[in-house]
């Protein structure tokens, strides 16, 4: 176990205790010497962990301490780098910029060996497939989902039929070739999914929809006929 992983484990152990626990008990649980334990606690305290106590009395960590990025394990860093690279390469300018900014902030606080591991990661993202052009701003769609506002959309299906809908957007699904807006559709009184590249016009209404987006997502998942709502990049809303 690397030192970073050991410090992470120590934090996780301390979080389980609400009252001070003796250093010897912690050392035995971690499989280290008492001297190593004291050094590890001092290191965590220097990094901002609110660990109180002293030898012979015991140690307890106050709630609310956030795990710093430098405590990421190697596989966690791999997942982070790959995910951020995918977003930077596949998504719109706002999310792409956010992904690159996130990586830079994390790299800035990593210890040297982990920063080098992040920067030299061999997990790469392949060239994206050709994506359809979009008429509406993805920022607007994400804002409507986040703020739980109704949208008035003009939608053109694969057959070229145009309809006007008032929808309650509760999720946005990303694929290589398309984005899919998951909604409750007032016109059909049912769940419908819309490819964002087939939305020709959109207006965010002032009115918020009456349910929380997480409630709508749970209801969508609970449907007995959920298989018929499988989200595929070529999916069009089915009108019947």
Does the predicted model carry a pTM greater than 0.75? no
Give the C-alpha separation, 138 to 193, whole Å.
Answer: 15
224 band by pLDDT with thresholds 50, 70 and 90: low
Q: Give residue 69's pLDDT.
A: 47
> What proportion of the chain, given as a percentage, has pLDDT over 90?
48
Which comes out higher in pLDDT, residue 135 or 173?
Answer: 173
Beta bridge partners of 52: 60
Q: Give residue 237's pLDDT.
A: 45
Secondary structure (3-state) at 126: coil
Instruction: Answer whether 106's CB lies under 8 Å from 69's CB.
Output: yes
Give the C-alpha separation, 70 to 106, whole Å.
Answer: 8
Q: In what order do the strands lie in the sheet with 199-208?
A: 190-195, 179-185, 162-174, 149-156, 199-208
Give the C-alpha separation, 149 to 185, whole Å.
Answer: 13
Helices vs. strands in the chain: H and E counts, helices first:
8, 7
Does the CA dihedral 72-74-76-81 come out positive or negative?
positive
Secondary structure (3-state) at 208: strand
């Amino acid at each position: 176990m690397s030192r970073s992983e050991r410090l992470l484990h120590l934090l996780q152990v301390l979080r389980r205790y609400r009252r001070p626990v003796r250093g010897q008990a912690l050392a035995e649980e971690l499989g280290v010497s008492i001297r190593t334990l004291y050094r590890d606690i001092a290191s965590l305290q220097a990094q901002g962990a609110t660990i109180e106590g002293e030898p012979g009395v015991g140690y307890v960590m106050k709630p609310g301490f956030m795990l710093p990025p430098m405590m990421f394990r190697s596989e966690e860093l791999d997942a982070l780098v790959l995910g951020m690279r995918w977003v930077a390469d596949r998504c719109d300018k706002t999310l792409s910029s956010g992904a690159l900014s996130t990586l830079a902030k994390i790299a800035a606080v990593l210890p040297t060996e982990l920063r080098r591991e992040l920067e030299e990661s061999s997990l790469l993202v392949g060239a994206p497939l050709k994506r359809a052009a979009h008429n509406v701003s993805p920022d607007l769609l994400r804002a409507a989902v986040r703020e739980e506002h109704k949208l008035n959309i003009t939608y053109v299906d694969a057959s070229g039929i145009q309809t006007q809908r008032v929808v309650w957007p509760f999720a946005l699904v990303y694929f290589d070739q398309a984005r899919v807006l998951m909604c409750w559709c007032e016109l059909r009184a049912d769940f419908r999914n819309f490819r964002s590249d087939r939305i020709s016009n959109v207006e965010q209404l002032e009115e918020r929809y009456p349910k929380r987006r997480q409630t709508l997502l749970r209801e969508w998942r609970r449907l007995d006929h959920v298989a018929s709502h499988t989200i595929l990049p070529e999916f069009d809303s089915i009108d019947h």
